[in-house]
Amino acid sequence: MTAATRPTTVPPTGGFVLPAPIPRDLPAVDRVAEAFRRIAAADRPEVWITLRGEIDVRADAAAVDARVAGGESLPLAGLLVAVKDNIDVAGLPTTAGCPEFAHTPGVTATSVRRLQDAGAVVMGKTNLDQFATGLVGTRSPYGAVRCAWDPELVSGGSSAGSGAAVGLGLVDLALGTDTAGSGRVPAAFHGIVGLKASLGLVSTAGVLPACADYDAVTVFAADLPTARAALGVMIGPDPADPRSRTWPADVVLGVPPVPVLAVPRTEDLAALTDDYRDAFDRTVARVRETGCTVVELDVSTMLDAARLLYDGAIVAERYSAVGAFLDGAPAGADPVVAGIIGRSRDVSGPAFADDLDTLAVARAAAHTVLAGVDGLLLPTTTEHPSIAAVQADPLAINRRMGTYTNFANLLDMAAMAVPGAPTRTGAPFGVMVVVPAFADQVALDLAALVTGDDPGPAVPTGGLELAVFG
Amino acid sequence: MTAATRPTTVPPTGGFVLPAPIPRDLPAVDRVAEAFRRIAAADRPEVWITLRGEIDVRADAAAVDARVAGGESLPLAGLLVAVKDNIDVAGLPTTAGCPEFAHTPGVTATSVRRLQDAGAVVMGKTNLDQFATGLVGTRSPYGAVRCAWDPELVSGGSSAGSGAAVGLGLVDLALGTDTAGSGRVPAAFHGIVGLKASLGLVSTAGVLPACADYDAVTVFAADLPTARAALGVMIGPDPADPRSRTWPADVVLGVPPVPVLAVPRTEDLAALTDDYRDAFDRTVARVRETGCTVVELDVSTMLDAARLLYDGAIVAERYSAVGAFLDGAPAGADPVVAGIIGRSRDVSGPAFADDLDTLAVARAAAHTVLAGVDGLLLPTTTEHPSIAAVQADPLAINRRMGTYTNFANLLDMAAMAVPGAPTRTGAPFGVMVVVPAFADQVALDLAALVTGDDPGPAVPTGGLELAVFG
C-alpha cells in the first residue's frame, strides 16, 4: 500500500483538543475521585489490565496529602500515574499483556518508586502490545487499545494503555517502555508528550526486558513541563540496574542562543502519508519562526540501521527474554507477537555478531552525522492507521510506523516526542527531537521550542547539578 | 592435571636476564643493522611471518635519522617495532597466521602509523596463534613460537612472535592484539611489559577482528617507560574505528599518595602452580614495601565472567570474523583454531543474547567490586607450559592460562602486564594491574610501583591534557 492509497486519518470534529487536565490545585484524594469518575465515563476498559481499587488509591493519595500538609515539598504531589504492565508495582500482577505470564512482584520498579517518592500516586497497570512487541496497541488478549479521540484508530503501542490514559485525561502521567518507539508512537497519536531519555539514565530495574540492551523506560504527559518534571525525578544511577549510566562530566547542558536543528532530506520523508508530510513541513516552518537555524541532513544511516531491530538478528534478545515461556504455547499468547519472537529462536549467534558489528559502524556514522547540529527533528511516525487496517495487515503497517523511531536506542540516542502542527484535517501529529546519548537536556530545550513551552527547570540528575542555558 | 603435578618451569641458568637492548644512542640505520645481526644470531625463524628486507628497513631508518637531523622531536625516534600479523602494514601481506588468508593491504593500521609518525621503524610482521585464537603461540602453520630463554617452553600467545621478538632483544617494541590475554601472556613468559589499554583508546582500524567488540591493540617492550611512551603515541580518537572512545572529562589522572591495591583471596589463586603462587606472594610483598595499602578482594565475579569468552556464545564473534573463510577448509588452517571457530558457527542467537545479559550484570558487579580500590594486582597467567605439553593437550592448558586475563576486555577494564618477582628457580613471572576502563593512568602508575620504575610522563591523550599525580 503506498502512501497515496492509505486511508486518510479521521480528524476529531472541530480539530483535536486534549481533555482538560484534572485540576492540579485539588487535594490528591479529590484528584483520585475525579480520575475514577473519568475512567467510568470514558468506558475504555481495554486501557487497563489492572485498575487498582479506588479505596486503595485514595489511601495512597491521602498519605501524599499528609506529606504535603506536613511540609514536604513533593515535585509530583498528587499526580496520578498509570504504569505499563511490563513494569513492576509491588502487590499488583505484572502480565506484560499475557495472562499466563502473570506474577505479582514484591518490589516496585525503581522508576515507579522514584515517582511515588516524589508524590505521584499509582492508579493501575496499563495494556500493551504483548511483551512490548509492537507499535500498534492491538496485539493483546486484553483487547486492542482504541485511540482516545477516535475509537476506530489504533492508540499506538506498545505502551498503548499508557498513551490512551493520558490522551483520555484519566491520569497526569503514564509510564511506558521504549525499545523501537513504544514510548513515542502513542504520544504522536494522542497529541501528547513522550520522553525517551538516553539508555541507562532511567533505571530499568523491575522492568521485563524486550531487548535488554535497548530498552528505556519512558514517560507520557499532556504537556512538556509535566513530563519533564517526572523524567527529572526518575533519572539517576541505580545499583539494581546493571545498565545504569550516569551523566558524563562534560554533559551539554542546553542549546546555544541560535540552535541548529536538522531535518531530513525530502527522500528520507517518503514513508509519510501526504497528511503527515504536510504537517511535518508546517511544524518545521513553525520551528524556523522561533529563530532556529534549520538545515537538511541525510539521515539514511539512521533509517537503514532501524531495520536491524526486527529484520536482523538482534530480535534474538526478545527470545532470550520470553522465548522459552512462549515455547510453551500459552493460550493467551498473541499470535503476531508469538510469531515474531518464535522466529527469533532460529537466529544464529554469528548472525547476531554480524549485526552487532554493523550496528557499531552505524552508531559511529550516525553520531558523526549529528556532530554538526544541536538536534534532529523527525516525524514520530508515518501514518495513523485504523485498528481494522492493522488487524488485516499486522506486520507491514507496524514496520512502516517504526521508520523514524526504531533506530534511537540501537544507535544510543535520546528522543523526545512532542506534538507538532496538527494535520490539515485537525488530527494530532507528532515529532521527535533526536540527539546523541546524554544530550537529553539539549533535546528537551529544543522540544520546548517546538511546543512553545518554557524550557522549565533543568532535569534533576541525581549526582550532577545541571543548569539549562538558552 | 592439578597444580601440584604440572611440570616445573625450567629456569634459565643463573636466573633470568633480558638481553641488553640495542643501544638507544645509535643512529636509526645502525640500530637496524644491529637488529638484523641479532635476528640472524637468534636463529628463531618462527618469530617472523614477514621479515622485511634490510635495505627497505634501512631506508625507513635513514628517513627517521633525517627527520631528527632536521630538528624534529620524535618520541620514538629510531625505535624498531615488530607488528603482529593480524595488523595491517601497507605493502606487507597480512596472514593472521594462515597462508591462504594472506592479502596485502594498501593502508597501514592507525596504531602502526602513529608509531611510525613518532619515529618508529617497522621490522616486519610476527607469528601468532592463528586468527589470534590462543594464549600459547603454538597454533600456527608458521611454526610453534619458542620461548626466548628456553626453546622447549611456549612463547605465550596469541601475540607470540611479538612477545618473543622483544624477549630476544630483536626489537624495541612489538605490537600485539589482546582479546583474552594475547597481549599480556607473552609478556609474562618473557619478563617484559605488555600494555592493554581500555577498549577503544587505541584504534583497531586495520586490525583483523578476533571478537570485534573485545579486541585491543597492545604493545610490548622490555621496560615500562618504553612501552608507556609507545602507548601514549597510539592512544587517540580515530574516525576510522567505529569503536574508538575518548577519555571521559573526569578521567582519573593518577594514584593517590597511598594507593590501595587489591589482591585476590587465596581461593582465587588456586589455579596457579606452586612456583607461580610463591612468586606472586613475593611480588605482593615487594609492592607492600613501596607503601601501598594492600587489601584482599573476592574476584570470583571476574574469574567467572572469564568463562563467557570461550565457553559461552560470544565466541560467535570469532565465526563472524573469519568463520566463512575457515568453512572453505584451507590447507593452512590450524586444526585447533578451526575447531574452536567452527564450533561457534552453531551458537544460537538467543544464547548469544543470554550471554550479553549475563555479561552486563557481571560488568556492573565487577566495577562495584573495584570501586573501593585503586587497582587490582593479579598474576598474568597460571603456569609456563612446554610446547610438548600444549601440543599433547591443546585446549585445557590454554584455557587455564587465561584464568586471569580473559575477563578484562569483556568487563571493560584496562590491564597493564609487567614483570613481578622471578620464581624461586629464577624464571620470569608476570603480574597485571587491572583497573576499570579509562583508569589507565592509574594502572600505569601502579605498574611502575611494581617494577620500581619512575612513573614517567603522562600518556599523551590526543585531545585531553593529562597530568600524573602521586
Give the residue from B357, B363, B367 with the most A CB atoms within 10 Å of its CB, the best one to mutate: B357
- DSSP label of B386: B
pLDDT for A104 = 98
10 Å CB burial of residue A157 (0-12, 13-18, 19+) is buried
Chain B residues in contact with A316 by the CB 8 A cut-off are 348-350, 352-353
> ipTM value of the model?
0.88
**pLDDT: which is higher, A14 or A435:** A435
Give the integer Cα–Cα distance in Å for A405 and A135. Answer: 10
Size of interface A-B (CB pairs under 8 A): 107
> Looking at chain A, which residue has its C-alpha nearest residue B363?
A242
> Looking at chain B, which residue has its C-alpha nearest residue A365?
B242
The reply to whether A349 touches chain B by the CB within 8 Å rule is yes
Write the residue in B242, B323, B363 that is nearest to A360 by C-beta: B242
Q: Per the structure block, which three cell numbers stand in for B322?
A: 573469519
Residues B287-342: pLDDT tens digits? 999 999 999 999 999 999 988 877 788 889 999 999 999 999 999 999 999 999 99
Return the bridge partners of A218, or none.
Answer: A176
Does position A360 have pLDDT exceeding 50, yes or no? yes
The reply to whether B316 touches chain A by the CB within 8 Å rule is yes
pLDDT for A262 = 98
**CB–CB of B166/B190 below 8 Å?**
yes
Active site residues of B: 84, 158, 182
Minimum mean pLDDT range among B346-360, B427-441, B449-463: B449-463
CA distance A453 to chain B (A): 32
Residues A217-270: pLDDT tens digits? 999 999 999 999 999 999 999 999 999 999 999 998 888 889 999 999 999 999
Does position B469 have pLDDT exceeding 60, yes or no? no
Write the residue in B320, B344, B346 that is nearest to A357 by C-beta: B320
Phi, psi values for residue A289, rounded to 5° = -65, -20
pLDDT for B192 = 97
Does position A315 have pLDDT exceeding 50, yes or no? yes
Give the integer Cα–Cα distance in Å for A6 and A8. Answer: 6
CA distance B300 to chain A (A): 17
pLDDT for B456 = 64
> Looking at chain A, which residue has its C-alpha nearest residue B341?
A350
pLDDT for B438 = 97
Q: What three-state secondary structure class fits B264?
A: strand
The reply to whether A350 touches chain B by the CB within 8 Å rule is yes
pLDDT for A467 = 36
Across the range B78-89, mean pLDDT stands at 98
Could B319 and A357 be called an inter-chain contact, meaning their C-beta atoms sit closer than 8 Å?
no
For residue A386, say if its preceding peptide bond is cis, omega within 30 degrees of 0.
no
Residues A399-434: pLDDT tens digits? 999 999 999 999 999 999 999 999 999 999 999 999
Percent of chain A with pLDDT over 90: 89
Could A348 and B353 be called an inter-chain contact, meaning their C-beta atoms sit closer than 8 Å?
no
> Looking at chain A, which residue has its C-alpha nearest residue B250?
A249
The reply to whether B204 touches chain A by the CB within 8 Å rule is no
Across the range B54-78, mean pLDDT stands at 98
| Closest CA relative to residue A406, chosen from A184, A188, A83 | A184
CA angle B23, B461, B159 (to 5 degrees): 55
Could A349 and B213 be called an inter-chain contact, meaning their C-beta atoms sit closer than 8 Å?
no
> Looking at chain B, which residue has its C-alpha nearest residue A239?
B364
Across the range B378-396, mean pLDDT stands at 97
Count the neighbouring beta carbons within 10 Å of the beta carbon of residue A454: 9
Across the range B62-85, mean pLDDT stands at 98
Could B212 and A357 be called an inter-chain contact, meaning their C-beta atoms sit closer than 8 Å?
yes
The reply to whether A372 touches chain B by the CB within 8 Å rule is no
Give the integer Cα–Cα distance in Å for A245 and B226. Answer: 35
Q: How far is CA A121 from CA A80, A82, A105, A110, B344, in A?
A: 5, 9, 18, 14, 50
The reply to whether B298 touches chain A by the CB within 8 Å rule is no
Contacts of B443 (CB under 8 A, 6+ apart): B375, B414, B415, B416, B433, B434, B435
Write the residue in B248, B249, B349 that is nearest to A352 by C-beta: B349
pLDDT for A216 = 98
Does position B1 have pLDDT exceeding 90, yes or no? no
Q: Is A386 a catalytic residue?
A: no
Q: Within 13 Å, how many C-alpha atoms sit on residue B359's CB side?
A: 24
Does position A444 have pLDDT exceeding 90, yes or no? yes
Does position B463 have pLDDT exceeding 50, yes or no? no
Percent of chain A with pLDDT over 70: 94
> Looking at chain B, which residue has its C-alpha nearest residue A252?
B249
Write the residue in A319, A345, A350 that is nearest to B323 by C-beta: A350
> Looking at chain B, which residue has its C-alpha nearest residue A342?
B350
**CB–CB of A206/A112 below 8 Å?**
yes
Mean pLDDT for chain B overall = 93
Contacts of A3 (CB under 8 A, 6+ apart): A270, A271, A272, A273, A274, A277, A382, A383
Which chain B residues in 352-371 lie under 8 Å from chain A, judged by CB atoms?
A: 352-354, 356-357, 360-361, 363-365, 368
Across the range A12-36, mean pLDDT stands at 88
Does position A466 have pLDDT exceeding 70, yes or no? no
Write the residue in A248, A319, A356 that is nearest to B350 by C-beta: A319
Give the integer Cα–Cα distance in Å for B443 and B225. Answer: 13
pLDDT for B258 = 93
Across the range B34-50, mean pLDDT stands at 98
Q: What three-state secondary structure class fits A145?
A: coil
Write the residue in B213, B244, B344 that is nearest to A349 by C-beta: B344
Return the bridge partners of A80, or none.
Answer: A121
The reply to whether A243 touches chain B by the CB within 8 Å rule is yes
pLDDT for A254 = 85
Chain A residues in contact with B241 by the CB 8 A cut-off are 364
Give the integer Cα–Cα distance in Å for B139 and B326. Answer: 15
Return the bridge partners of A177, or none.
Answer: A217
Minimum mean pLDDT range among A147-161, A295-309, B208-222: A295-309
CA distance B37 to chain A (A): 44
pLDDT for A15 = 64
Write the residue in B244, B248, B349 that is nearest to A316 by C-beta: B349
CA distance B352 to chain A (A): 6
Could A352 and B316 be called an inter-chain contact, meaning their C-beta atoms sit closer than 8 Å?
yes
Write the residue in B239, B316, B350 that is nearest to A353 by C-beta: B316
Longest dimension (CA), chain B: 60
The reply to whether B351 touches chain A by the CB within 8 Å rule is yes
Could B360 and A248 be called an inter-chain contact, meaning their C-beta atoms sit closer than 8 Å?
no
Could A349 and B316 be called an inter-chain contact, meaning their C-beta atoms sit closer than 8 Å?
yes
CA distance A326 to chain B (A): 14
pLDDT for A309 = 77
Contacts of A211 (CB under 8 A, 6+ apart): A179, A309, A314, A315, A317, A318, A321, A409
pLDDT for B366 = 96
Contacts of B351 (CB under 8 A, 6+ apart): A349, B312, B313
CA distance B354 to chain A (A): 6
Which chain B residues in 212-231 lie under 8 Å from chain A, judged by CB atoms?
A: 212-213
Chain A residues in contact with B349 by the CB 8 A cut-off are 313, 316, 319, 344, 346-349, 351-352
CA distance A263 to chain B (A): 24
pLDDT for B459 = 61
Q: What three-state secondary structure class fits B381?
A: coil
The amino acid present at A378, given as its one-letter code, is L
Tell how far CA B16 is from the center of its chain: 20
Residues B172-200: pLDDT tens digits? 999 999 999 999 999 999 999 999 999 99
